Chains A and B, each alone.
Chain A
Amino acid sequence: MRARRILLRLPGVIVLSDHFVLVMTVLYFLLIWAVYPHMAGRRNIANLFSNVWPLLALVIGQMFVLIVGGIDLSQTSIMAVTSVLGAMMMAGRFDPAKFEQNPLWGVVFSEQGGLLAGSGWAVPAAIMVMLFVGVGIGLLNGVAVAKLKMPPFMVTLVAMSFYSGLAIYLSRSENIMHLPDSFIAVGKGTVGPIPSAMLIVVTLAFLAFVILNLSILGRWLYAVGQNIRTARVSGIPTERVVVLAYVFSGFCAALGSILYSARLEAGRPTLGRNLLLDVIGAAVIGGISLYGGKGRVLWAVYGVLFFVVLDNSLNKMPLEFYSIDIIKGGVILLAALLDSLRTHIASRQTAPEGIF
């Protein structure tokens, strides 16, 4: 009798659970796996997770901005500009035919390589520069939003356009190859049996978890996102909190850039050009609210997993290429609808009687 009661309540409990997206992802995975056995093959699982890590870094950064009620559309352009700058510093050589007309030729790089090419410090210094630039752009975005009270959408949209253009200007639209092996290993190598990208992003996720769940800053971030005026009245330094959220997003974007550049073995001025939908889509599907005040690291993980599994599964099917896009859009829409329905049910259950 008790078991029956539990079974009857289970669907409702799952739908309202924090882990709903994960349950959906696992069920979807099992369904696809029944038809396409390679879905659960070792190589495919490795692929799947190698696609998770860089995207997760971006989504975690985006989550911080979404929690404070903002949005960061400039993440992909931060990726592009940091990818180009990092590669310019550490690449082992440059093809004069492609780069001789570049304004930085002979100043930052030459045929013999980037500014630090050949030095033992080339890779760490280039990585530091990439992260520093990411943080710097995040800081500018944050200041524009928090201090100058500019709308986050406009600020980051303009930043996206500006830094994408800057990346193309700096590189003259050329991809920069011949990156050092030790840099490529950051995105493609392993530390023992563990992929280095996984180590980096799990550390980032842990840091984000600590900030959000165990620090006063985390409470301030949620408070600002839920109601910025109340937060200000309560003595929270709202401007600094908003700036920090954008700084963290810039940092995560630069980290994503390091991982993507390493796996593609090139500095690319168009890196991440089409990634924004995946980043924001994964965040929203994970349950992170676009209205602020709501988001958890675990939800970001679930959202990214769902996205990556969906993409991976569609790659298994012998479909016409356009039907893949249609199906992907349809599934994302369905997931977003389910999430919306779930939020509605949850709010009904917690609301006092008579409201609905």
Chain B
Amino acid sequence: MRNVKKLILALLLIFIFFANGSCSRKDNKPGQVTICFAFQDLETEYWVAAHKAITETLKARNIMVLQRNAHQDANRQLEQIRDAIAQDVDGIIMIPQDGESAVTIIGEANKAGIPIGVFNRPPADKSNPALVVVADNTRIAEETVAYMAKAARKLNRKMTPLILVGDLGDQNSIERKNGFYNAVNAHPDLFKKPIEVPTKWDAATTLANLEAALQVEPAVDFVFTSSDFLYPQIKAVLEPLGKWKPIGDAGHVILGGLDGDSTAYRLMQEGYVDATGVQDLFFEADEIMEALLDAIEKGQTKPEKWIQDPGFALMQENMAEREMDMWGCRILKQAKAGTAQ
């Protein structure tokens, strides 16, 4: 037992002796830029595509990328980013779990003097400076729902609208909800009181809550999903009720969403979805990387810039001209081209 204690003591002494002198060495190759890319999870196609775009572009530029997945845990993300800061990374790109934790984490980066970029999910307030790229969610949602309302008007009846609301800790969800209400409230004669179904950005929660909502109010005939990744759950609930019908069929539920993923594109092609709001994923990824690399090059430690992705609404009537601006369509066509080769 005494030998073990001596060994432990020796190991600890060696560690303490070397620990003090070792912090100035960098872990990467000399001159190579290191960026920590911390994301909350890759639960939707949007995040997967964004992750791919960011990591591949950075690697192609010979930038070392430290990828950190927080598995939807804000505390874990904080710990991961603190670890990255301790590793003297040159910059951080973060997809935060929510706007509130983003503020705290940006504060940590600010304190350490490391520039940080926030991708797509904005901080809850601007108390700590950061580079932020975010879509104009309110306007995109409003445009999309306005088109859906135009389609509803042709049916000459009062509609029962339903919105699948995202996690309200996410500013994007709140803005999409606001955009939905802006458009619906513009037509008081057309819509009954909207039904709100919470999803917490979770497929299982969505399925359960949507089923319950349609049991209570089976007359729902106008559905807006705050994210395209929930279309499979919508189909799973509507189909057994005989409400999964293409545009033009009696019983078609007017359907729209926001993101612009490949499922939404396919469903628009097949005629089930009327419109979808599109975030320009590639624009957002390029902008945040350029802004961060520029800040690193200029030696800025607390750069502040909010970049807005205007996005657009892809509708049945403009689909032919604008579908290639939709990232989901481009990804699908690239994948098809890859398979064909």
Q: What 0/1 readout, one digit per residue, does chain B (97-131) give for beta carbons within 8 Å of chain A?
A: 01011011001000000000000000011000000
> Which of the residues A38, A173, A272, A324 comes within 8 Å of B167, measured between beta carbons?
A173
Please, how many angstroms separate the alpha-carbon atoms of A221 and B200 in the complex? 41
Per-residue CB contact flags for chain B residues 65-76 toward chain A (1 = under 8 Å, else 0) read 111110111111
Is the Cβ of A36 less than 8 Å from the Cβ of B4?
Answer: no
Neighbouring B residues of A320 by C-beta, 8 Å? 67
Q: What string of 1s and 0s marks CB contacts (under 8 Å) between A304-342 and chain B? A: 000000011001111111101100000000000000000
A47, B83: Cβ atoms closer than 8 Å: yes
Whether B27 and A37, one on each chain, are in contact in the complex, defined by CB atoms closer than 8 angstroms, is yes
Please indicate the chain A residues that have their CB under 8 angstroms from the CB of B64 in the complex. Answer: 318
Interface string of A257-279 (1 = CB under 8 A from B): 00010011110101111110000
Q: Which residues of B contact A174 (CB under 8 A)?
A: 168-169
Whether the pair A43, B8 counts as a contact (CB closer than 8 A) is no
Chain A residues proximal to chain B, CB less than 8 Å: 6, 10, 13-14, 17, 19, 22-23, 26-27, 29-30, 33, 36-47, 50-51, 97-98, 172-175, 177, 260, 263-266, 268, 270-275, 311-312, 315-322, 324-325
Per the bound structure, the CA–CA distance linking A30 and B83 in Å amounts to 17
Report chain A residues within 8 Å CB of B4: 13-14, 17, 19, 23
In the bound complex, do residue A172 and residue B168 qualify as a contact, i.e. CB atoms below 8 Å apart?
yes
Contact between A38 and B79, CB atoms less than 8 A apart = no
Closest 10 CB pairs of A and B: A41-B23, A44-B86, A37-B25, A315-B83, A175-B100, A40-B19, A321-B69, A43-B86, A274-B73, A26-B11
Are B3 and A29 in contact (CB-based, < 8 A)?
no
B204 at the interface (CB under 8 A from A): no
Cα A318 to Cα B1 with chains together (Å):
39
B155 beta carbon closer than 8 Å to chain A:
no
B84, CB-defined interface residue at 8 Å: yes
* B75→A271 contact, CB < 8 A: yes
Q: Does B88 contact A (CB under 8 A)?
A: yes
What is the interface of chain A mostly: helix, strand, loop, or mixed?
A: helix
CB distance from A233 to the nearest CB of B (A): 35
Let me know if A37 and B200 touch, CB within 8 A: no
Q: Point out the residue from A13, A41, A263 that lies within 8 Å of B78, measured CB to CB.
A: A263
B165 to A, closest residue via Cβ:
A173
CB distance from A288 to the nearest CB of B (A): 20
B318 located at the interface, meaning its Cβ lies under 8 Å from any Cβ of chain A in the complex? no
User: How far does the alpha carbon of A29 sit from the alpha carbon of B42 in the complex, in Å?
Assistant: 30
Task: Specify which chain A residues have a CB less than 8 angstroms from the CB of B80 in the assembled complex.
Answer: 315
Across-interface contacts of B246 in A (CB, < 8 A): none
**Is the Cβ of A40 less than 8 Å from the Cβ of B12?**
no
Q: Mark B2-15, 1 if CB is under 8 A from A, else 0.
A: 01110110011011
Q: Does B267 contact A (CB under 8 A)?
A: no
Question: What CA separation (Å) do A38 and B28 show in the bound complex?
Answer: 11
CB proximity of B8 to chain A, nearest CB, Å: 6
Q: Are B74 and A264 in contact (CB under 8 A)?
A: yes
Q: CB of B332 within 8 A of chain A?
A: no
Query: Could you tell me the distance in whole angstroms from the C-beta of A300 to the nearest C-beta in chain B?
Result: 17
